[in-house]
Amino acid sequence: MDHTLFQYLLRMGDTTLVLSQRLCEWTGHGPVLEEEMAVANTALDLLGQARMWLTLAGEVEGRGRDEDALAYLRDAPEYRNYLLVERANGNYGDTIARQFVFDVWHYLLLERLQSSTDERVAAIAAKAIKEVAYHARRSSDVLVRLGDGTELSHRRMQAAIDDVWRHTGELFFDDEVTQALAGCGVAPLHESLRAAWQEHVCAILAEATLVMPPAEEADHPAHRGGVHGRHTEALGYLLAEMQHLQRAYPGATW
């Protein structure tokens, strides 16, 4: 049981950590100052959540690893994040598309985790969901503006949605970990989030005058595996940058 919970906590912690690191790459490169601040705020929120998930993961594992050991001293195959969040940022529309599909899923998941039978999980979810509610509002707003903007922004936003779509299926994939945790009420079956996610995403895409790609295109097995440690090349580069200092100077502190 503890091992299963550990795996699930790593998925939550690694997913928020990797997305945070990705979003940080916009710092100094944002399209306008206000957007850059918004992206950095989201990144900081996610980093705070990652710390809580990874700290709890370390406690549950019981081998004396803290948040830093888990974040900085694991290689890509030991990371358990969803493939969606390790994708490169692309253009700003690509970043917004990734953020939008993620935020809606994240909100729906945290909503269910708030009533987890594990009160530590419920407490983290209750704290995080307030932040994520704003993330979803913000990414939906920008998505609508870019989708329903100029001819060029519409075309790019549609291309971004089409491109990110194949990575959304993994978010709803259940395996022995989610099934076991659903059995004891710690976490929901992720498949049970899909209908609400599709409904919400469909409504916002319609508002943005964008076409929702066919549902079945989200579920190709080739685009799954992050939560089992099978990552794309992109994660290696991200971790190399993020872990550089700790790898070059083990145990460095300030």
Partner 1 sequence: MSRSTWPLWEVFVRSQHGLAHKHVGSLHAPDAEMAINNARDVYTRRNEGVSIWVVKAADIVASSPSDKEPLFDPASSKVYRHPTFFPMPDEIKHM
Task: Tell me if 141 contacts partner 1 by CB under 8 A.
Answer: yes
How would DSSP label each residue in 147-192? Answer: HTS-HHHHHHHHHHHHHHHTTSGGGG---HHHHHHHHTTSS--GGG
Do residues 154 and 91 lie in contact, with contact meaning Cβ atoms separated by under 8 Å? no
Q: Is the dihedral of CA 215, 167, 34, 128 positive or negative?
A: positive
User: Least distance (Å) from partner 1 to the CB of residue 241?
Assistant: 25
Task: Tell me if 154 contacts partner 1 by CB under 8 A.
Answer: no
Q: In the set 47, 89, 120, 153, which binds partner 1 (CB under 8 A)? A: 153
Task: Tell me if 252 contacts partner 1 by CB under 8 A.
Answer: no
Q: Which stretch binds partner 1 (CB under 8 A): 5-13, 102-110, 132-140, 174-182?
A: 132-140
Task: Please name the residue that has the structure tokens 């081998």.
Answer: 63
User: Least distance (Å) from partner 1 to the CB of residue 115?
Assistant: 28
User: Least distance (Å) from partner 1 to the CB of residue 26?
Assistant: 13
Structure tokens belonging to residue 236: 């290696």
Provide the total of helices (H) and of strands (E) in the chain, helices listed first: 11, 0
Task: Tell me if 38 contacts partner 1 by CB under 8 A.
Answer: yes
Binding mask 8-37 for partner 1 (x = CB under 8 A): ------------------------xxx--x
Measured from the CB atom, the residue of 28 and 64 that comes closer to partner 1 is 28
Q: What is the Cα–Cα distance from 108 to 90, expressed in whole angstroms? A: 26
Largest distance between two CA atoms of the chain = 55
In the region spanning residues 202 to 231, those forming contacts with partner 1, defined by CB under 8 A, are none
Task: Give per-residue burial for 232-244: e unless 16+ CB within 10 Å, then b.
Answer: bebbeebbeebee
- Of 101, 84, 91, nearest to 204 by C-alpha is 101
In the region spanning residues 70 to 129, those forming contacts with partner 1, defined by CB under 8 A, are none
Task: Tell me if 135 contacts partner 1 by CB under 8 A.
Answer: no
Task: Tell me if 156 contacts partner 1 by CB under 8 A.
Answer: no
Helix residue ranges per DSSP H, 25-169: 33-61, 67-72, 83-86, 92-113, 119-147, 151-165
Q: In the set 30, 48, 90, 149, which binds partner 1 (CB under 8 A)? A: 149
Q: How many residues does the chain have?
A: 254
Task: Tell me if 151 contacts partner 1 by CB under 8 A.
Answer: no
Task: Tell me if 52 contacts partner 1 by CB under 8 A.
Answer: no
User: Least distance (Å) from partner 1 to the CB of residue 211?
Assistant: 22
Q: Tell me which residues touch partner 1 (CB under 8 A).
A: 32-34, 37-38, 41, 134, 137-138, 141, 145, 149-150, 153
